[in-house]
A and B are shown apart, each in its own frame.
Chain A
Amino acid sequence: MPVKEKKGVRLEHISKIYQDPKTKADFFAVRDVSLDIAPGSFVTLLGPSGCGKTTTLRMIAGFESPDEGEIFLGGEPINALTPNRRDTAMVFQSYALFPHYNVFDNVAYGLRLRKVPKDEIQRRVTDILKLVELSGMESRMTNQLSGGQQQRVALARALVVEPGVLLFDEPLSNLDAKLRVQMRTEIRRIQQILGITAIYVTHDQSEAMSISDQIILMKQGVVAQMGTPMEIYYHPVSEFVADFIGECSFLEGEVRKADGERVTLDIGGHEVYAECSRTPQVGETVKLVVRPEAIEIRDEGILPGKVELSCFMGSHQYYHVRVGDTLVKITDNCPRNKKIYQAGDTAYLSFQAECAHVL
Chain B
Amino acid sequence: MSKRQSARLDRKKFFADPVMVITILILFLFLALFILYPLATLLVDSVLVRGTVLYSVEDYTSGDSWVFYNQEGQVATSDREAAFIRVYPAKEEGDPVYLPVYRSKGLFASQANVGETTGEMYLKVVNSRDRSVYLRMQDLLTVQEIPATYRKNSRLIKKMDGIEMTDICVQVSDNQWTVDAFPRIFRDYTFNRALRNTLLLGALTGFGSLLVGLLFAYVDVYVHVRSRVTKKLFDVVSVLPVVSPPFVLSLSMILLFGRAGLITRKLLGIYDSDIYGLWGIVIVQTLTFFPVVYLMLKGLLKNIDPSMEEAARDMGASRWHVFTTVTLPLMLPGLGNAFLVTFIESVADFANPMIIGGSYDTLATTIYLRITGGTYDINGASAMAVVLLALTLCLFLIQKYILEKKTAATLSGKASRARMLIEDRSVRYPLSLFCVLVSVFVVLMYIAVPFGALFKLWGRDYSLSTKWFEQMFREGGWKAFRDSFILSLIASPVTALLSMIISYLVVKKKFHGKAFIEFVSMLAMAVPGTVLGVGFIRGFAGGVFRTGFLQSIYGTGLILVIVFVVRSLPVGTRSGISALRQIDRSIEESAYDLGAGSGKVFTSVTLPLIKDSFFSGLVTTFVRSITAISAVILLVTPRYLLITCRINEYAEKGEYGVACAYATVLILITYAAILIMNAVVKRFGTSKNGSGNTREENS
A interface residue numbers (CB < 8 A to B): 16-17, 26, 28, 61-68, 79-86, 88-90, 92-94, 96-102, 104-105, 108-110, 113-114, 118-119, 121-122, 138-139, 141, 143, 154, 157-158, 161
Contact = CB atoms under 8 A, between A and B. Distances in A.
Nearest to A28: B1
16 contacts: A28-B1, A61-B593, A64-B6, A65-B7, A80-B9, A81-B16, A90-B589, A96-B587, A98-B605, A98-B608, A102-B689, A108-B692, A119-B699, A139-B694, A141-B689, A158-B594
A158 B2 CA distance: 34
Contact of A67 (B5, B604, B609, B693): B5
Given A63-B589, A66-B6, A96-B589, A114 B595 contact: yes
Interface string B561-587: 000000000000000000000001011
A139 B596 CA distance: 23
Contacts of A99: 587, 609, 688
Interface residues of B, number: 39
A92 to B, nearest CB: 4
B64 interface: no
Most buried by A among B586, B594, B608, B689: B594
B3 interface: yes
Contacts of A97: 587
B587 A62 contact: no
Contacts of B596: 84, 109, 113
B401 to A, nearest CB: 18
B18 to A, nearest CB: 11
Given A82-B13, A110-B595, A118-B696, A67 B6 contact: yes
Given A68-B5, A84-B596, A104 B692 contact: yes
Contacts of A141: 688-689
Contacts of A113: 594-596, 600
B277 interface: no
B591 to A, nearest CB: 7
A285 to B, nearest CB: 36
B590 interface: yes
Nearest to B9: A65
B6 A65 contact: yes
5 closest A-B pairs by CB: A65-B9, A110-B594, A96-B590, A96-B586, A65-B6
A65 B10 contact: yes
B597 interface: yes
A154 B692 CA distance: 18
Given A17-B1, A84-B597, A98-B591, A104 B9 contact: no
Given A82-B17, A99-B609, A104 B4 contact: no
A93 B586 contact: yes
Contacts of A84: 592-597
A86 B597 CA distance: 12
Interface of B: 1-7, 9-10, 12-13, 16-17, 584, 586-587, 589-597, 600, 604-605, 608-609, 688-690, 692-694, 696-697, 699
Given A96-B590, A98-B605, 19 more contacts: A28-B1, A63-B592, A65-B5, A66-B9, A79-B9, A82-B13, A82-B592, A84-B597, A90-B590, A92-B586, A98-B587, A100-B609, A102-B690, A102-B692, A104-B696, A109-B591, A138-B697, A139-B697, A141-B689
A121 B697 CA distance: 11
Contacts of B600: 113
A155 to B, nearest CB: 12
Contacts of A16: 6
Nearest to A18: B3
Contacts of A110: 594-595
A321 B1 CA distance: 47
Contacts of B694: 139
Given A17-B3, A62-B13, A92-B589, A118 B699 contact: yes
B689 A89 contact: no
A16 B5 CA distance: 10
B9 A161 contact: no
A21 to B, nearest CB: 15
Contacts of A93: 586
Given A26-B1, A108-B696, A65 B589 contact: no
Contacts of B3: 17, 26, 67
A214 B608 CA distance: 41
B580 to A, nearest CB: 14
Contacts of A92: 586, 589-590
Contacts of A62: 13, 593
